[in-house]
Structure 1
Amino acid sequence: MHILQQAGPMTTERRDLEACLRIQIEEMERKLNVLVAQINQSQLELADHMKDNIANLRQLQSQVLDEELIKWKREQQLSGNGVPMQSNLNTIQEWCELLADLIWTSRQQVNNVSRINNKTIPELRQPHLIEMLEDMSKQVTNLLSTLVTSTFVIEKQPPQVMKTNTRFTATVRLLVGGQLNVYMTPPRVSVAIISEQQAQLLLKSETQAGKGKQPVECGDILNNSGVMEYQATSRQLSVSFRNMQLRKIKRAEKKGTESVMDEKLTLLFQSQFNVGGGELVFQVWTLSLPVVVIVHGNQEPHGWATVTWDNAFSPPGRVPFAVPDKVSWGQLAETLRIKFYSATSGGDLSEDNLRFLAEKIFRSSLPMNTIELNAQMVSWTQFCKDALPERNFTFWEWFYMVVKVTRDYLRTLWCDGLIMGFIQKKQAEEMLSKCPPGTFLLRFSDSELGGITIAWTGEGNEVFSLQPFTSRDLMLRSLADRVLDLPQLQHLYPSIAKDAVFSKYYTKPENEMLKNGYVKPVLVTTLPPYMSSMASYAHSPDSHRNTPSAHSSCFSAATPAPTENTFMDSDLFEQMRAFDPESFDEFNLYESMSMK
């Protein structure tokens, strides 16, 4: 228009041309404005769709991470008590990889729209759209950050009862490491052991702005660093620590009745991941399940008490490592049942067994029904702090040793129902006193940790209980063979011939000589001679009445067991005595008295 105005005097033709051009320009501007409006509207609609998409991704991610992955972690914790795993980490990885792909694609879409909008002339840019894009960029980046940090998991937990100067293993894995090409810059993972208090501070600093201080380690771990490796076939990015070793530990100050086995520590796994060729860098860490550090084997039972209680009763989303001080008997009974079932590979506890355990932990008989009993509350102190009446050990120590001896030496007998096990001595005597002589049952000792005793009916319906056999005894000769050794035992309660159920567990005699020309000796369990007159003994309140000791005599495998006193080769006797000085000194004294 300016050019037309400078072209010379205005003529009619020029005025018509100018008018025509004005109309064309106005029409062009109108069309351009319509296009700009359409573009702006399309951008807003696209932004709304991306906003909805991000919201859907957030909901989907919450379902995968806050439900499925948390469920897997909870199952992993319960598996420490023997509960079988149901969730599959490989399936969860597939879901996380799909999420990673969707989130990364959404992030690229947001960035592309932002670039297009930035190329638009400033006058046509929409401030509202710019704010939306900036906000969505932050949201989708946060989703990606949450996904990466949450999928850094401990696939194989370290041992929860950890002994110093003993090697242990652990495996950590990044579930989205293959999808996001994190393996292109192989990350290094370091491991440190920290206290419960340090774990609390670490989580607290995570929820606040900025980063907290590096946690203070409370022990030295050897071989505590490794590079994550990528397996293309399984698409797994992980690192296995196969040779870690805790050299020393710094204990926290104890309060009240706390012991070192009450102290819960944790292993901190840390790394740094590069995503998008270094475009994004994530500092990641994860904590192991609580661990209890022991320095001696006799601390192991109480250490497992702490771990078992924590695994079973820790609430979701807890502050490390808070657990309730009291739980219902129903909850604890299920935990004990699973513990026993897992350790014995299928040897379950009956309702009667659980009621027996309830009476033991509550220190009284419980006439209430099952529903009322299950609602009764049991404290941590009752569980593993207070000694049982007239005993120097706790309920947990007693139960732990029963589980251990059953797992190691009695599993098949228990699973076949040959061990009554959980029954009071008085109740066993009442049951057997109504049975013919030679009827017997097997029960766990109330007085001997990890002990199992044989109670049987003698002449005149007198009931006797054999001194309990422990792991040390059963290592030398199996319980089934000891039942075979004693002719006084004829029928398993109520009236099952012992050979009908025990014979498949008897050790077959070896009639061949050893390669060195010697005949291999065997131990045979016998009762002392005075047992012939035991039937005439009157009942007394003495807790040790009717509890004869079994003597293990040593016979040649190729020679029938004699009825008279038989003596061991001196070298063999010294070997046996070195293994169990107390029992074999008692045996020697008995033999010496017999000679006289």
Structure 2
Amino acid sequence: MEQEQESFALQYHECTKINAHLQNLTNQPANQVQQAAGAIQKVQRQKEMLEQLLNQKVAGLMQLRLALVDKLKETYQMINTLQAQVLDEELIRWKREQQLSGNGAVFNTLDPPGVQDILPQLLAEITQLLSSLVTSTFIIEKQPPQVMKTNTRFTATVRLLVGGKLNVHMTPPQVKVTIISESQANILLKNDKLGKGGEASGEILNNTGTMEYQQGTRQLSVSFRNMQLKKIKRAEKKGTESVMDEKFSLLFQSQFSVGGGELMFQVWTLSLPVVVIVHGNQEPHAWATVTWDNAFSEPGRVPFAVPDKVAWNRVADTLSLKFRSATGRPLTDDQILFLAEKAFRGNYTDPNQMLTWAQFCKEPLSERNFTFWEWFYAVMKLTREHLRGPWVDGAILGFIRKKQTEEMLQNCQNGTFLLRFSDSELGGVTIAWVSESQEVFMLQPFTSKDFAIRSLADRIADLNHLVNLHPDIPKDVAFNKYYTPYQDNQPTSNNGYVKPLLVTHVPGWSAPGTMSYPNTPQHPFLQSPDPSRDTPSVASTFQNMLDL
């Protein structure tokens, strides 16, 4: 009510100023009043709006005052009842007991019974509540990377949510970061301390920071911007375990006092599981470990236990979520069915079928030297880095079997093509097209290395025998916005040399500026696709073209 009254006083003062201003405007000579008619109307509207607001505030204040009066009445009744009980009953009874004690009766003291015993217990329980609140609100706002490469800079941010309320920032606490193993994390959660031999499992540079209080947001936090893992100490491996299966966690620790030093708190929190790698080629398997852990770990688990097998529908949701996050578009039901048949090596029956960790990322696919996850991860990486636009547009079918590709193209118009991810080449995409004789050909898969030289859209533009994207979309409509503009007026580079243009050319088929010969299967570079693999059915070469 006091705040509302202050607000009313300020607005009432503002209204008084507007009234005075309006009075000055209307008291001017008639010709000036006429000239200032617009300004007078504007001020008049301001006055009316403010008066309306003031009337509302007056009504609100009256309600608040009536409510306050009701509360005072209620409080009075409670005090009156309590006072009558104390003075007219309890105190009179105590005086009588005092009198009877002269005859040897038991005499109670003036203090309520049991207060001396209850207070210490209450204080201990309240302190425990506060301790639980403080320790539980020491959290990692920005997690460190879950796949962590040694000698690579990384960041993390820690906050104490109740830091501002408890004035912890008056003596800003320091936070220390260490990396611990899965077994150490288990010990810590069981005993609230690492125990003997609890040294870190690695060495982190720039691993201490002081929490800072942001006045505007009232947040107490510390951001570690330049941490770097220099060393890692691994556990002994068993069976088929690899270093990419091993999980660590970053431990953030701090201590501080509240209440003028009356209470001292030691707090800590663990990051999400981290897999440490030293080479880039370890990244796919490391992400398999992290993806499985993030998706299928249970709340309150023993660190860092995960199930050994999971229903396919849960795996499918995870894969679609990952693919959408990386590439901008989730997977369709047909694409998920394709992945299920690949993951189960052709033995897929229903969405509740259990997929094991070994099938997911340990055992190679049939007749391949890579696992299901390695294949999926490579496709996702290729799409994210080189095919994102066409994929989001729906121009890439991608997850489709070779046999189904042939069936889809065989009855199409000559030059109809589609794009599918290679089964035999990690991170490869192939172009399949139908010729005039209704024969389906597939180009040797392109990989990231190829697209670093020339993009997919430009390669499609180079190949004149590719006419329509399946079913009947002219290729220029589908890919034109992704073509690289060619600048005729800049034939030379900065060093004075003429710059060649690399163009994709399939021998035996049309090259830029030449006639097309689609019906020449007798050409040594052409053959009908081998049904067992989609490696070169048609060789792909590059021709240096000089635009002079």
Q: TM-score, normalised by structure 2?
A: 0.76
What are the Cα deviations for residues 335-388 of structure 1, in whole angstroms up to 9, with x where unaligned?
Answer: 0001000111x312110010001010011164x5xxxx2211111111100100
Match of 1:226 among 200, 204, 209: 209
DSSP-derived class of the 1:427 partner: helix
SS in 1 for 2:521: helix
3-state SS of paired residue (2:291):
helix
Please name the residue that 2:137 is paired with: 151
State the distance in 1 between where 2:365 and 2:275 align. 24
SS of 1:534 mapped into structure 2: coil
Structure 1 residues 435 and 32: CA distance shift in structure 2, 3 A: closer
Distance in 1 (alpha carbons) for counterparts of 2:538 and 2:530: 15
- The answer for the alignment partner of 1:378 in structure 2 is 355
2:156 to 144, 157, 170: 170
**What is the number of equivalent residue pairs in this alignment?**
439
CA displacement at 1:269 relative to structure 2: 0.5
| 2:494 paired with 1:525 | no
For the pair 1:354 / 2:336, whether they are aligned, the reply is yes
Structure number with the higher helix fraction is 1
Q: 1:254 is matched with which residue: 216, 221, 237?
A: 237
1:201 and 2:161 correspond:
no
Instruction: Write the letter of the residue equivalent to 1:464.
Output: F
Q: Is the 8 A contact 2:201 2:233 kept in 1?
A: yes
Query: Structure 1 residues 439 and 32, CA, compared in 2 at 3 Å: closer, same or farther?
Result: closer
Say whether residues 1:135 and 2:121 are aligned partners.
yes
Please show how residues 6-21 of structure 1 align to structure 2 within 5 Å.
Answer: none
1:35 aligns with 2:22: no
Q: Is the 8 A contact 2:423 2:534 kept in 1?
A: no
Report what 1:406 is aligned to: 383
Partner residue in 1 for 2:77: none
Task: Identify the residue that residue 424 of structure 2 maps to in structure 1.
Answer: 447
Give the aligned partner of residue 260 of structure 2.
Answer: 277
Q: 1:171 to 1:493 in 2, by over 3 A?
A: same
- In structure 2, the CA distance between the partners of 1:31 and 1:136, relative to structure 1 (3 Å rule), is closer
Equivalent residues in 2 for 1:467-486, closer than 5 Å: 467-486=444-463
Q: Residue in 1 aligned with 2:322?
A: 339
Query: 1:197 is paired with a residue of what secondary structure?
Result: helix
Mapped partners of 1:429, 1:302: distance in 2: 33
Q: CA separation in 1, counterparts of 2:123 and 2:176?
A: 31
Residue 362 of structure 2 contacts residue 371 of structure 2 at CA under 8 Å; is this kept in 1?
Answer: yes
Letter of the 2:119 counterpart: L
- What displacement does 1:38 show? 9.3
The offset of 1:538, in angstroms, is: 6.1
Give the aligned partner of residue 438 of structure 2: 461
The AA in structure 2 aligned to 1:189 is V
Partner of 1:395: 372
In percent, how many aligned pairs have the same letter? 62
Structure 2 unaligned blocks of 5 or more: 1-85, 96-106, 510-517
- The Cα shift of 1:519 comes to 3.4
Query: 1:53-72 residue pairs with structure 2 within 5 A?
Result: none
CA distance in 1, matches of 2:318, 2:522: 43
Aligned to 1:552: 542
Structure 1 residue 213: Cα displacement: 4.5
**In the superposition, relative to structure 1, how do residues 309 and 355 fare at CA in structure 2: closer, same or farther (>3 Å)?**
same
Pick from 180, 183, 186 the counterpart of residue 172 of structure 2.
Answer: 186
1:494 maps to 471
> What is the DSSP-based 3-state SS (H/G/I as helix, E as strand, rest coil) of the residue aligned with 2:497?
coil
Q: Which amino acid aligns with 1:376?
A: Q
Distance 1:541 1:221 in 2: 52
Name the CA distance, whole Å, in 1 between partners of 2:435 and 2:483.
24
How many Å separate the matches in 2 of 1:185 and 1:247? 31
Q: Distance in 2 between matches of 1:222 and 1:168?
A: 10
Inter-partner Cα distance in structure 1 for 2:302 and 2:499:
60
Q: 1:36 to 1:462 in 2, by over 3 A?
A: farther
Over aligned residue pairs, what C-alpha RMSD do you find?
Answer: 2.4
CA contact (8 A) 1:194 1:219 kept: yes
Q: Give the TM-score normalised by the residue count of structure 1.
A: 0.70
Aligned to 1:512, the other structure's residue is in SS state: coil
- Aligned-residue offset at 1:512: 2.4
Q: Which amino acid aligns with 2:545?
A: F
Partner amino acid for 2:502? L
Q: 1:384 is aligned with what amino acid?
A: C
Q: Does 1:427 find its partner at 2:414?
A: no
CA contact (8 A) 1:231 1:237 kept: yes
* CA–CA distance in structure 2, aligned partners of residues 417 and 156 of structure 1: 34
Q: Which amino acid aligns with 1:276?
A: G
| Conservation of the 8 A alpha-carbon contact between 2:209 and 2:224 | yes
Cα pair distance change 1:164/1:233, threshold 3 Å: same
Q: Is the 8 A contact 2:146 2:273 kept in 1?
A: yes
- Distance of aligned partners of 1:261 and 1:456 in 2 relative to their CA distance in 1, 3 Å threshold: same
In structure 2, relative to structure 1, the CA distance for the partners of 1:460 and 1:31 (3 Å cut) is: closer
| Alpha-carbon distance in 2 for matches of 1:430, 1:505 | 28
- Residue in 2 that maps onto 1:161: 147
Quickly say closer, same or farther: Cα 1:328–1:535, change in 2 above 3 A: farther
In 2, the alpha carbon distance for the partners of 1:394 and 1:443 equals: 19
One-letter amino acid of the structure 2 residue matched with residue 170 of structure 1: A
SS of the residue corresponding to residue 124 of structure 1 reads coil
SS at match of 1:348: coil
Query: How much has 1:528 moved relative to structure 2?
Result: 1.7
Asked if structure 2 preserves the Cα contact closer than 8 Å seen for 1:522 and 1:554, the reply is yes
Paired AA for residue 334 in structure 2: D
Determine the structure 2 residue equivalent to 1:17. Answer: none
- In structure 2, relative to structure 1, the CA distance for the partners of 1:165 and 1:129 (3 Å cut) is same
Counterpart contact for 2:442–2:529, Cα < 8 Å: no
- Extract structure 1 runs of 4+ deviating beyond 6 A: 30-33, 36-39
CA contact 1:454–1:465 (8 Å) conserved in 2: yes
- Contact 1:463/1:546, CA 8 A, preserved across alignment: no
Give the Cα–Cα distance (whole angstroms) in 1 for the partners of residues 127 and 87 of structure 2: 38
Give 1:292-303 correspondences, 5 Å limit. 292-303=275-286
Which AA in structure 1 matches 2:538? P
Are residues 132 and 535 of structure 1, via their aligned partners in 2, closer, same or farther at CA, if it must alter by over 3 Å?
Answer: farther
Task: Give how far 1:129 is off.
Answer: 2.7
Question: Is the contact between residue 459 and residue 535 of structure 1 (CA under 8 Å) also seen in structure 2?
Answer: no
What does the per-residue CA deviation read over 1:28-87, in whole Å, with 9 as the maximum and x for residues that have no partner? xx9698338799xxxxxxxxxxxxxxxxxxxxxxxxxxxxxxxxxxxxxxxxxxxxxxxx
Task: Return the alpha-carbon distance in structure 2 between the equivalents of residues 141 and 158 of structure 1.
Answer: 32
- Name the CA distance, whole Å, in 2 between partners of 1:269 and 1:31: 57
In structure 2, what residue type is equivalent to 1:262? Answer: D
- Give the Cα separation in 2 of the matches to 1:545 and 1:397: 18
Distance 1:36 1:354, change over 3 A: farther
Are the counterparts in 2 of residues 361 and 382 from structure 1 also a CA contact under 8 Å? Answer: yes
Task: Find the residue that maps to 1:529 and give its secondary structure.
Answer: coil
